[in-house]
Amino acid sequence: MSTTAQTRSGFEETAIAVILGLMTLITFINVVLRYVFNSSLIWGLEVVLILFAWLVLFGVSYGVKITAHLGVDAVTNMLPKGPRRIVALVSAALCLIYAFLLLKGGWDYWAPYAGLYPTEGRWFPLGFDETARDRAFYITDQVPMPEFLRFLEGWINYDETYDKLPRVIPYAIVPIGTALLMFRFIQATLRIWRGQADSLIVSHEVEDELENLNSKTEG
């Protein structure tokens, strides 16, 4: 992989690696505490579940970015180049619509936990629903409140003290993840439009490399 490709992939790769590392570390510490010291991190399981949710949503957008998602292209591969490109653009448009709906739903779900307003309108945002119930006071079950996040009490919780980590933090991955997914679909669509890619799904570069390797071996 070239240096440029490594730079482009750095953000999601780093986030996924950090999350996996934290999940492994917390789980390992909990196992040691439980079987050696007859103790445990009471918040460990909840944090691992939160990290797993973040991992999944980062992974979805990253899969789009590197065209790692699987798909069936047996029919489209039989089409000439022009019609195949049109089908790919139609597929990309449908994916963009899907990502937009996810983004709207993600914002509408997370906004009340941040003391913000969800959007009105079932499919397309038609403004903000100022009658929505504020959920900024909702907290996690066991995760302690980090001191460096105490500013949130004044920002969204009317200076009320949080006993545990507010749900606005772990739930933030919902709008972040869906926005990142939308961004990656836009990038993928532009690649197809410019003729730099044939589709949104996994490429056949691995198969081509294996064929080249076999031909060299046989030669």
CA distances from 202 to 23, 25, 42, 188 (A): 28, 32, 41, 12
How confident is residue 205, by pLDDT bands cut at 50, 70 and 90?
Answer: low
What kind and span of H or E run contains 102?
helix 81-110
The CA radius of gyration of the chain, in Å to the nearest whole number, is 22
CB atoms within 10 A of CB 51: 19
Phi, psi of 150 (to 5 degrees): -65, -20
pTM of the model: 0.81
Amino acid at 150: R
Q: What confidence score (pLDDT) does residue 198 get? A: 76
CA distances from 182 to 50, 123, 128 (A): 22, 16, 21
User: What digits encode the pLDDT tens for the residues 120-168?
Assistant: 988 888 899 888 899 999 999 999 999 999 999 999 999 999 999 999 9
Q: What confidence score (pLDDT) does residue 7 get? A: 41
User: What digits encode the pLDDT tens for the residues 28-80?
Assistant: 999 998 888 888 889 999 999 999 999 999 999 888 888 777 776 666 667 67
User: What digits encode the pLDDT tens for the residues 102-115?
Assistant: 999 999 999 999 99
Q: In this model, does residue 172 exceed pLDDT 90?
A: yes
Cα separation, 90 vs 197, in Å, equals 14
Residues of the chain above pLDDT 70, percent: 84
Q: What confidence score (pLDDT) does residue 4 get? A: 41
Cα separation, 81 vs 95, in Å, equals 21
